[in-house]
Amino acid sequence: MTGYDNLLIIYYSGTGNAKRVSEWIAEKAKEEKINTLVIPFWKYLKEPLPDLKGNTLIGFCSATHGFNLPHSFLKLIFRFKEFPKSDVFIINTRAG
């Protein structure tokens, strides 16, 4: 994660797997002194994001529903307009 000032992860979790994966990634980012924000999907929908200055890496982490991401989470990803020109990663977890 070298070269980033911020890490923003938005997660969608039913059983807690996606949340835990998001937290593991955030722990590593904090070790590298990266400003880190991990928020659940529902909170993102209700509250504005803080203004993150600098180079931001954005992660979307979700559980698998019907062999894919949940429809509402996919809609969020396709319509996400904050922090243009940022790098993005997507993680799809599953039980097992």
Regarding pTM above 0.75, the answer is yes
Does pLDDT of 10 surpass 90? yes
| Residue 46: other Cβ atoms inside 10 A | 7
pLDDT in tens, 51-95: 899 999 999 999 887 788 888 999 999 989 888 889 999 999 886
Q: Phi and psi for 31 in degrees, rounded to 5?
A: -60, -30
pLDDT in tens, 21-51: 999 999 999 999 999 999 999 998 898 888 8
Does pLDDT of 96 surpass 70? no
d(CA 86, CA 59): 10
Helices marked H in 1-96: 17-31, 41-46, 71-79
